[in-house]
Amino acid sequence: MIDLRSDTATRPTDGMRAAIAAAVVGDEQKREDPTVNELETRGAVVLGQEAALYLPTATMANQIALRLHTEPGDELLGEENCHVFISELGGPAVHSGVVTRGLPGVAGRFTPQQVRAAYRMPAVHSPRTKVVWVENTHNASGGRVWPLAEIDEMRAVCDELELRFHLDGARLLNAAVASGEEAATIGRRFDTVTLCLSKGLGCPLGALLAGSEEAMVRARRFKHLFGGAMRQAGIVAAAGVYALDHHVERLADDHGRAKKLALGLAEAGLAVDPDRVETNFVQLDVAPLSPAEAMARLADHGVGLSATIHPTLLRAVTHLDVDDDDIDGALELIPHALVGTRARVGA
Ligand SMILES: Cc1ncc(COP(=O)(O)O)c(C=O)c1O
């Protein structure tokens, strides 16, 4: 099958497996694992922060960040379809007792004016607006990128209103490669940054949370509290170090392939807007089929796409295990599978 369902489908390459096999390890909880320590040191630099923490998942990194910045009853502002609101099982309420407030976005982005309007003046009966959350790239909008100038404007309003500023940069390196900015240039504008290692970077698991030294000392306690402290984790952290060396620049290949796929599908008459493809996601409107019907037809033809939160959109995601032949194959198979869906480009 040509598996375009998600960039989490990547499997470790031979080079990554060799790095894993050769990893020097120790007890990570005691900070005696040299490979985890190296990944954390390197990760902090890559993310433009003083320190970083190695964690099993980006979900845990996000939830620890929120716990760091809030007290129960505080309020989190973010775009209404960001991952922490729709795909982390209400974690903000469960782990931090935090109220969430979703702001309508365009391409996953919202504005300082929206933050100002949503901000609650401190009052004895109101939740305390405390954190502004940016997701870059933004998953639900199809891997869209936040321009640096808009991040700066958002930082300014956070400073003015004394709000903490978190970046869910699960795919920050895709955003960096697509925008031509260093990840550190983007990351240093935030108080804390999440990076996922198990998506486009191709690791079997792992994520980083980065922030100030002081914040990461506190975050390390939450890592234990949330059950994320490990033992000889250098075995998998070695994959992260390898990915930072070998799998960052190549993200441009994934983006180029996504663009090629989008252009080809649009040319074949399918409802795809290539202008919206900024990184490694392509959204395809399959109306009048339902996503389930379309995915079943595609699977019969040997192509895997996945559903999105939108009622008629599927997504195709390029990644390390998708090559040029796969894109050529997908461009032949998808139009065949979806005959009869040639609709207008969706919203
Ligand atoms: C934007 C974003 N944040 C966080 C996550 C969570 O990542 P993990 O699966 O490592 O918990 C994802 C996963 O898809 C994501 O897309």
* 164-184 per-position pLDDT tens digit: 999 999 999 999 999 999 999
Nearest residue (by CA) to ligand 1, atom 7, is 58
Average pLDDT, integer, range 19-28: 98
Of ligand 1's listed atoms, the one at least distance from the Cα of 207 is: 10
**Full set of structural domains in the chain with CATH:** 11-246 (3.40.640.10), 250-337 (3.90.1150.10)
- What does the pLDDT read at residue 339? 84
- What does the pLDDT read at residue 346? 40
Four-residue CA torsion sign, 17, 19, 24, 28: negative
Q: Which two tokens stand for residue 190?
A: 């935030």
Q: Is 198 in the pocket of ligand 1 (CB under 6 A)?
A: yes
In percent, the amount of the chain with pLDDT more than 70 equals: 98
Backbone angles phi, psi at 83, to 5 degrees: -55, -40
Say yes or no to pLDDT of 297 above 90: yes
Angle, alpha carbons 252-255-256 (nearest 5°): 85
Q: Is 168 in the pocket of ligand 1 (CB under 6 A)?
A: yes
Condensed to tens digits (0 to 9), the pLDDT of residues 225-283 reads 999 999 999 999 999 999 999 999 999 999 999 999 999 999 999 999 999 999 999 99
Torsion on CA atoms 89, 94, 100, 105, rounded to nearest 10: -20
The rounded distance, in Å, linking the Cα atoms of 187 and 173 is: 10
Average pLDDT, integer, range 302-328: 97
Q: Is 207 in the pocket of ligand 1 (CB under 6 A)?
A: yes
- What does the pLDDT read at residue 340? 72
Q: Say if pTM beats, i.e. exceeds, 0.85.
A: yes
The rounded distance, in Å, linking the Cα atoms of 140 and 238 is: 30
Q: Is 58 in the pocket of ligand 1 (CB under 6 A)?
A: yes
Condensed to tens digits (0 to 9), the pLDDT of residues 134-147 reads 999 999 999 999 99
Q: Is 170 in the pocket of ligand 1 (CB under 6 A)?
A: yes
Name the strand (E) or helix (H) holding 106.
none
User: How many angstroms does the Cα of residue 121 sit away from the middle of ligand 1?
Assistant: 32
Say yes or no to pLDDT of 347 above 60: no
Condensed to tens digits (0 to 9), the pLDDT of residues 73-115 reads 999 999 999 999 999 999 999 999 999 999 999 999 999 999 9
Q: Is 237 in the pocket of ligand 1 (CB under 6 A)?
A: no
Pairing of strands 128-135, 164-169: parallel
Residues forming beta bridges with residue 168, ordered by sequence position: 135, 194
Q: Is 135 in the pocket of ligand 1 (CB under 6 A)?
A: yes
User: How many angstroms does the Cα of residue 297 sit away from the middle of ligand 1?
Assistant: 27
The rounded distance, in Å, linking the Cα atoms of 303 and 289 is: 16
Mean pLDDT of the chain, nearest integer: 96
Contact between 130 and 123 (Cβ < 8 Å): no
Mutate to test the pocket of ligand 1, among 62, 168, 196 (most ligand atoms within 8 A of CB): 196
Confidence band, pLDDT 50/70/90 cuts, at residue 342: low
Q: Is 196 in the pocket of ligand 1 (CB under 6 A)?
A: yes
Say yes or no to pLDDT of 343 above 70: no
Of ligand 1's listed atoms, the one at least distance from the Cα of 88 is: 6
